[in-house]
């Protein structure tokens, strides 16, 4: 199992965003999680394509100028979705995920993301049914299970997400066994080093963590503690 740690820059110091991205990658992170909120679909307002474009050159392995590009994982908490997708693709997003409730045509939006050259993901809120996955498994590169209600960092992990992750892991494994493409299973909200092992055991492979990492003085020590827990999973 390949595990990926995806710090959410929502909890970074926005006045020093490029440096924060380099520092967290130097500390061993694998993916940059980029939370886009619109004060409409969710009750908060964050960053858009211009900031994504500004961050793109800093998203390199090890935080080094000559490192390989690291994926920027754009989590759209916006309505409407389609209007903004090409802007994020042009701004250097690698993965774009969205909430099905925010799109009138989920299949069309997934196609639009892939046609724009990005990997496509669907995000399921704590109360959102897995039924949304039924007819689109072949169009997904990522499924993101929310373990908090979207809108804010620093919330408590909702334990029911573990059962949901197990159910989605079974769906992904069945899809793969039938010859389907790879699909990452990501979790977002309240992930810390003291619960990451149980979350991995439930089937997640990609772990968003905002406050747990950016709230600490030493990013590398949190990320290595998370990796040690993952190694024991």
73 binds Zn ion (CB under 5 A): no
202 near ligand DX5 (CB under 6 A): no
- Going 163 to 166 to 170 to 171, the CA torsion angle's sign is positive
The neighbour count for residue 224, using CB atoms within 10 Å, is 14
Nearer to ligand DX5, 155 or 173 (CB): 155
Q: Which residue of the set 35, 38, 94, 141 is catalytic?
A: 35
Q: Which residue is nearest to ligand DX5, using beta carbons?
A: 210
Q: Does residue 212 touch ligand DX5 according to CB under 6 A? A: yes
DSSP 8-state secondary structure symbol assigned to residue 71: -
Take residue 159 and report the two structure tokens written for it.
């334990």
| Region at 137 (left for phi over 0; alpha for psi -120 to 50; beta for the rest) | alpha
Bridge partner list, 124? 145
- Give the number of C-alpha atoms closer than 13 A to the C-alpha of residue 16, restricted to the C-beta side: 8
Rule CB under 5 A: is residue 38 a binding residue for Zn ion? no
The span from the CA of 186 to the CA of 183, in Å, is 9
Residue 211 vs 224, nearer CB to ligand DX5: 211
131-190 binders of Zn ion (CB under 5 A): 188
Q: Indicate the residue among 30 and 177 with the shorter CB distance to ligand DX5.
A: 30
Stretch that binds ligand DX5, among 5-13, 80-88, 101-109, 134-142 (CB under 6 A): 5-13
Q: Would you say 93 or 134 has its CB closer to ligand DX5?
A: 93
Q: Sort 1 into a burial class: Cβ within 10 Å, 0-12 / 13-18 / 19+.
A: exposed
| Between 35 and 229, CB nearer to ligand DX5 | 35
Question: According to the binding rule CB under 6 A, does residue 73 interact with ligand DX5?
Answer: no
| Opening angle at CA 146, ends 25 and 28, nearest 5 | 15
CB 15 → ligand DX5: shortest distance, Å?
Answer: 18
Q: Please select the residue that binds Zn ion; options are 22, 56, 75, 171, rule is CB under 5 A.
A: 75
Query: Buried b vs exposed e over 43-52: b needs ≥16 C-beta within 10 Å?
Result: eeebbbbebb
188 given a catalytic annotation: yes
Q: Is 28 in the site for ligand DX5 (CB under 6 A)?
A: no
- Residues annotated as part of the active site: 35, 188
Judged by the rule CB under 5 A, the positions of this chain that interact with Zn ion are: 35, 75, 188
């Amino acid at each position: 199992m390949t595990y990926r740690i995806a710090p959410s820059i929502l909890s970074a110091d926005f006045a020093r965003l490029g440096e924060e991205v380099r520092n967290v990658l130097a500390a061993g992170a694998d993916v940059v999680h980029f939370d886009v909120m619109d004060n409409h679909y969710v009750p908060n307002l964050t960053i858009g394509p211009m900031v994504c474009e500004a961050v793109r050159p800093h998203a390199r392995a090890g935080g080094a100028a000559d490192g390989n590009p690291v994926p920027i994982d754009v989590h759209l908490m916006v309505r409407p979705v389609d209007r903004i997708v090409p802007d994020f693709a042009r701004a250097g997003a690698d993965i774009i995920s969205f909430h099905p409730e925010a799109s009138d045509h989920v299949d069309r939006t997934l196609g639009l993301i892939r046609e724009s050259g990005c990997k496509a993901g669907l995000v399921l809120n704590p109360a959102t049914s897995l039924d949304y996955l039924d007819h689109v498994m072949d169009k997904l590169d990522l499924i993101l299970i929310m373990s908090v209600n979207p809108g804010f960092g620093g919330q408590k992990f909702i334990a029911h997400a573990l059962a949901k992750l197990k159910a989605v892991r079974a769906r992904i494994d069945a899809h793969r066994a039938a010859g389907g493409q790879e699909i990452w299973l990501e979790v977002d909200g309240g992930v810390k080093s003291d619960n990451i092992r149980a979350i991995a055991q439930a089937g997640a492979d990609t772990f968003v963590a905002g406050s747990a990492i950016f709230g600490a003085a030493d990013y590398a020590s949190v990320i290595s503690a998370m990796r040690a827990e993952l190694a024991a999973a």
